[in-house]
């Protein structure tokens, strides 16, 4: 997720662009840059790292101009660096592009453009766009952009300006947000409202497969066939701070609601057209090498460790490899048995967790191969790993991990299908079935998110309780752990996750009329056992909050507090079952007036040991 901005009007454009990027920094902060056009000259200033670095560069320049575009980057392809920063230019510096999204077919396009003699300066997917526009340019910028869009596959929100067809910004969008701001004789493009609210509240929403040509005379919107479209101008009511959170009260709630898109983004560009294969181009391990490993060890901390526990169920079932899941801070202080036939998955949203990084180094010292499952491109863990499996969740601002966890589960699921195919244990037809079910998940998540109010009602009933117990079995036992962690880390209520089968070995002594017990009871191979757990709790007057499938009519006779989720495969059920638990924790914490996005004592990235 990146932030783009563009401006045309009478103000000093560099200032407008920089202030707009400041308002968009929450969308990505790996690098930033602007391009300004003035009297036949295009000037591009870029810098790695946070926006303040760009500011120091801009202070040394005297940028004049009334038209320009800017970008703040969240890296998906290509490490954070100045050469990978946007705006990207064509071979002759006459054309610049800013892009938010993922171009799925960028590798094949890049090869063809290189054969045609184009000179690439970055590792990004975006750069293929600017060279394609250059290739198609014949004096009319919007025509060149339109022809380019017929060749690219994937998600994009684009801003383009040219010194050879000056005085206009061409914008286009598909599956990445882009709004058009309408001011007094000044016009904007932006990824999100915060960038322009200081200048105007009048916006045009660009829809998928639509383009716009913005000049100082106004905005023309068209479809990608060039046919003009009439678009209404809407008024934005949010204040800039509200807008950064997308109108949500907290980043955590916004990020919970981003999960359908995050699933789509993490899948994007990684599937064979017929869904029979998974392409994970960053693994840096051949199918033969993958086939040679005789065990997998997963290393992680906190929520990422819970994702690893789900991975154990998936990989053991479908890749038939023994999988150990180790808390990184424990692993690194043992003398673990690792050798060149051990494959390690290091799961870390931030890519900077000190214990996980230390465990990676220890594993490599012993001859293991490490794949980093990470959300932050270019962070320490992927930089030191042998292979990469990036999640595409975008920046996760809330300290409590939500969308990144979901993206981890998707990435591990894709890796499982890959390993199963490589080992010949998953035939093409089964892979197609597994991937088809995965592609339904975004819609299922939307359905769950639409039932937010009922979960708020449960939070109102139980937010004063001082202890919660979460029960799950099998592949959903890690979700019981994750649900408990979410509650305790943002509401400070004591909560424990337990495997349902362990109830009779101790926790059942806790059950009474004051103890809410959250039971994950979706239909799977251990459903009947979970219903027995519910009966045990009910017999002792415990409070039961069940997570169950819409189709389940049996569960109603056991409890009245049921959060329903759509039916999916057992392998994918953790992704769906986890979201009601995120929302329950969130609404309880809000009721308690807790600092949801920045809970006490916690940090987003634990870089200390």
d(CA 233, CA 347): 44
Residue 247 is given by DSSP the state T
Q: Give the list of residues 6+ apart from residue 272 with CB closer than 8 angstroms, or none.
A: 278, 279
Which residue from 135, 259, 303, 432 is in contact with ligand AGP, where contact means CB under 6 A? 303
Per the annotation, the verdict on 604 as an active-site residue is: yes
Go through 385-395 and write b for each residue having 16 or more CB atoms within 10 A of its CB, e for each that does not: bbbbbbbbbbb
User: Of 220, 529, 567, 604, which residue is the catalytic one?
Assistant: 604
Contact set for ligand AGP, span 485-504 (CB under 6 A): 489
The answer to whether the beta carbons of residues 193 and 177 sit under 8 Å apart is: no
d(CA 517, CA 535): 12
Look at the block and give the residue holding tokens 């180094």: 361
Three-class SS of residue 570? Answer: helix
401 binds ligand AGP (CB under 6 A): yes
Q: CB of residue 269 vs ligand AGP: minimum separation in angstroms? A: 23
Contact set for ligand AGP, span 321-350 (CB under 6 A): 348-350
Which is nearest to 394 in space by CA: 23, 21, 70, 76?
76
Q: CB of residue 408 vs ligand AGP: minimum separation in angstroms? A: 8
Look at the block and give the residue holding tokens 């299922």: 444
Report residue 209 as tokens.
């497969």
Task: Name which of 127 and 396 has its Cβ closer to ligand AGP.
Answer: 396
563 binds ligand AGP (CB under 6 A): no
Task: Name which of 188 and 470 has its Cβ closer to ligand AGP.
Answer: 470
Q: CB of residue 257 vs ligand AGP: minimum separation in angstroms? A: 17
Quick note: the x/- pattern for ligand AGP over 232-271, rule CB under 6 A, is: ----------------------------------------
Query: Stretches 7-15, 97-105, 300-308, 576-584: which one binds ligand AGP (CB under 6 A)?
Result: 300-308
391 binds ligand AGP (CB under 6 A): no
577 binds ligand AGP (CB under 6 A): no
Q: CB of residue 603 vs ligand AGP: minimum separation in angstroms? A: 8
Q: Sheet harboring 561-565: ordered strands across?
A: 494-499, 467-472, 516-520, 543-549, 561-565
Three-class SS of residue 16? Answer: helix
Per the annotation, the verdict on 2 as an active-site residue is: yes
Query: Stretches 54-62, 169-177, 399-407, 577-585: which one binds ligand AGP (CB under 6 A)?
Result: 399-407
Go through 161-198 and write b for each residue having 16 or more CB atoms within 10 A of its CB, e for each that does not: bbbbbbebbbbbbbbbbbbbbbbeebbbbbbbbbbbbe
By CB under 6 A, the count of residues binding ligand AGP is 15
Which residue from 97, 182, 373, 400 is in contact with ligand AGP, where contact means CB under 6 A? 400
Q: CB of residue 328 vs ligand AGP: minimum separation in angstroms? A: 8
User: Of 2, 174, 301, 519, which residue is the catalytic one?
Assistant: 2
The answer to whether the beta carbons of residues 238 and 565 sit under 8 Å apart is: no
302 binds ligand AGP (CB under 6 A): yes
Which residues bind to ligand AGP, rule: CB under 6 A?
301-304, 348-350, 353, 356, 399-401, 489, 605-606
- Positions annotated as catalytic residues are 2, 604
């Amino acid at each position: 997720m990146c932030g783009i901005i563009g401006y045309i009007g009478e103000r000093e454009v560099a200032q407008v662009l920089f202030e707009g990027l400041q308002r968009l920094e929450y969308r990505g902060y790996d690098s930033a840059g602007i391009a300004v056009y003035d009297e036949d000259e295009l000037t591009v200033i870029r810098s790695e790292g946070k926006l303040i670095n760009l500011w120091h560069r801009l202070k040394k320049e005297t940028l004049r101009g009334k038209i320009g575009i800017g970008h703040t980057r969240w890296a998906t392809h290509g490490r954070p660096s100045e050469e990978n920063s946007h705006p990207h230019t064509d071979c002759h510096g006459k054309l610049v592009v800013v892009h938010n999204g993922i171009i799925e077919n960028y590798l094949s396009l890049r090869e063809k453009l290189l054969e045609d003699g184009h000179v690439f300066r970055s590792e990004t997917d975006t750069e293929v766009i600017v060279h394609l526009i250059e290739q198609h340019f014949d004096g009319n910028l919007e025509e060149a952009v339109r022809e380019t869009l017929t060749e690219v596959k994937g998600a994009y929100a684009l801003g383009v300006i040219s010194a050879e067809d000056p005085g206009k910004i061409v914008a286009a969008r598909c599956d990445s947000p882009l709004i058009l701001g309408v001011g007094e004789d000044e016009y904007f493009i932006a990824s999100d409202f915060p960038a322009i609210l200081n200048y105007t509240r009048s916006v045009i929403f660009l829809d998928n497969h639509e383009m716009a040509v913005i000049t100082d005379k106004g905005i023309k919107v068209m479809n990608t066939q060039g046919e003009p479209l009439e678009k209404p101008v809407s008024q934005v009511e949010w204040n800039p701070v509200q807008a950064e959170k997308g109108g949500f009260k907290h980043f955590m709630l916004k990020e919970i609601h981003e999960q359908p898109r995050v699933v789509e983004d993490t899948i994007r560009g990684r599937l064979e057209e017929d869904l029979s294969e998974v392409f994970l181009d960053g693994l840096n391990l051949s199918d033969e090498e993958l086939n040679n490993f005789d065990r997998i060890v997963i290393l992680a901390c906190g929520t990422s460790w819970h994702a690893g526990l789900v991975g154990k169920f998936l990989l053991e079932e479908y890749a038939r490899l023994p999988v150990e899941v180790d808390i990184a801070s424990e692993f690194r202080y043992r003398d673990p048995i690792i050798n060149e036939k051990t494959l390690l998955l290091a799961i870390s949203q931030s890519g900077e967790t000190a214990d996980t990084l230390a465990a990676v180094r220890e594993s490599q010292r012993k001859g293991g191969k490490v794949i980093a499952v990470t959300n932050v491109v270019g962070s320490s863990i992927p930089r030191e790993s042998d292979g990469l499996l990036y999640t595409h969740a975008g920046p996760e601002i809330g300290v409590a991990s939500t969308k990144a966890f979901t993206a981890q589960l998707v990435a591990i699921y894709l890796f499982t299908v890959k390993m199963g195919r490589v080992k010949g244990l998953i035939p093409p037809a089964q892979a197609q079935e597994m991937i088809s079910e995965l592609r339904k998940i975004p819609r299922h998540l939307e359905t769950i998110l639409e039932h937010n109010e009922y979960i708020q009602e449960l939070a109102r009933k139980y937010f004063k309780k001082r202890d919660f117990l979460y029960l799950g079995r099998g592949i959903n036992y890690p979700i019981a752990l994750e649900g408990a962690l979410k509650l305790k880390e943002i509401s400070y209520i004591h909560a424990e996750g337990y495997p349902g089968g362990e109830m009779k070995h101790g926790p059942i002594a806790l059950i009474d009329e004051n103890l809410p017990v959250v039971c994950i009871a979706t239909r799977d191979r251990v459903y009947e056992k979970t219903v027995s757990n519910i009966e045990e709790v009910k017999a002792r007057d415990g409070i039961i909050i069940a997570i169950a499938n819409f189709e389940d009519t049996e569960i109603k006779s056991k409890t009245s507090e049921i959060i329903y989720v759509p039916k999916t495969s057992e392998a994918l059920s953790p992704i769906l079952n986890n979201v009601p638990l995120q929302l329950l924790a969130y609404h309880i914490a809000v009721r308690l007036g807790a600092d949801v996005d920045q809970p006490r004592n916690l940090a987003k990235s634990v870089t200390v040991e």
